[in-house]
Structure 1
Amino acid sequence: MSVQIKTDNSPEFAEAVKEQIVSFNARHWDASLRQPLGLKITAENGELIAGLSGRTFGNWLMVDYLWVAEHCRGLGYGKGLMLEAEAIARKRGCRFVLLDTLDFQARPFYQQLGYQLVFTQQQYPLEGERYYLQKML
């Protein structure tokens, strides 16, 4: 058999590879345990001022994104979203939370909420650092 390596940076190809991994993984665990978790805070006019997105899977809550509008930072919205996400995760049977943040983002904020640094990815993407933090629920 003759094979070739070709470049394909398309979103469709990335999705096809992802689906192959999902199919393989499904033979080893119950993928239905994976549930999205999204929370948002909106102003009276409907403007999005803060949001959290992630997912629960078995024992774990993975927080992908936490964002608060600049003019609303320091008002407790981020903390409120994190505490609500943790409460939902507990109800779903989660025992741990994992998230990451960059060196210019929110590491002290997460540490004030009880998160512990478990890994530092250095020189990310070139000169900075990416921190992986975890918390037991």
Structure 2
Amino acid sequence: MMEITIGTTEDGQWIREQLIAYNRQHVPTSVYTETETYCFLAWDEEEELLGGVTASYMWNHLQVHFLWVDPENRTGGVGKQLMEKIESIAEEKSCSKILLDTFNFQAPGFYEKLGFEEYGRLADHPAEGQTQYFFVKYL
């Protein structure tokens, strides 16, 4: 008989390390790197936060996690400049691609204008009538 219990943060880290060790056996050394995380913020002259982006680097690609732009500044190029910064990091790291996901109520058209291509979608997520899109930009 098996029992399932709640694990600690340390247990979660141990599980992560076990999967990383397993993955190292199957992923070519040339693309296996340690993860690096990034966070960039955009500020105006009055030191007001306009937006920010977070991402991580691993396995020869950059994964964008969150891009947020203040609603009053969504047409001023803030998002584009933040994504250009992400792309410059990806190029600096010699990444082959940038990956991200977005929802229909967020910005799929914005990412398409930046050269991202849809490679998948999940309908009725997070709720009925909504769609999650998965994008890639090959570098």
After TM superposition, the score normalised by the length of structure 2 is: 0.81
Give aligned pairs, total.
135
Contact 1:100–1:130 (CA under 8 A) maintained in structure 2: yes
Gapped regions of structure 1 (runs ≥ 5): none
Corresponding residue for residue 81 of structure 1: 82
Judged with a 3 Å threshold, the aligned counterparts in structure 2 of structure 1 residues 7 and 103 are, in CA distance, closer, same or farther, namely farther
Corresponding residue for residue 20 of structure 2: 22
Alignment of 1:1-137 (within 5 A): 3-8=1-6, 11-29=9-27, 31-44=32-45, 46-127=47-128, 128-137=130-139
Matches of 1:32 and 1:58, distance apart in 2:
6
Question: Identity over aligned residues, as a percent?
Answer: 31
Q: Deviations over 1:90-126 (max 9, x none)?
A: 1110121110001110101001111111101112123
Contact 1:119–1:133 (CA under 8 A) maintained in structure 2: yes
Contact 1:60–1:97 (CA under 8 A) maintained in structure 2: yes
After TM superposition, the score normalised by the length of structure 1 is: 0.83
Gapped regions of structure 2 (runs ≥ 5): none
Matches of 1:24 and 1:45, distance apart in 2:
49
Instruction: Report the CA distance between 1:59 and its aligned residue.
Output: 2.7
Question: What value does the CA root-mean-square deviation take over the aligned residues?
Answer: 2.3
Contact 1:124–1:130 (CA under 8 A) maintained in structure 2: yes
Contact 1:59–1:93 (CA under 8 A) maintained in structure 2: yes
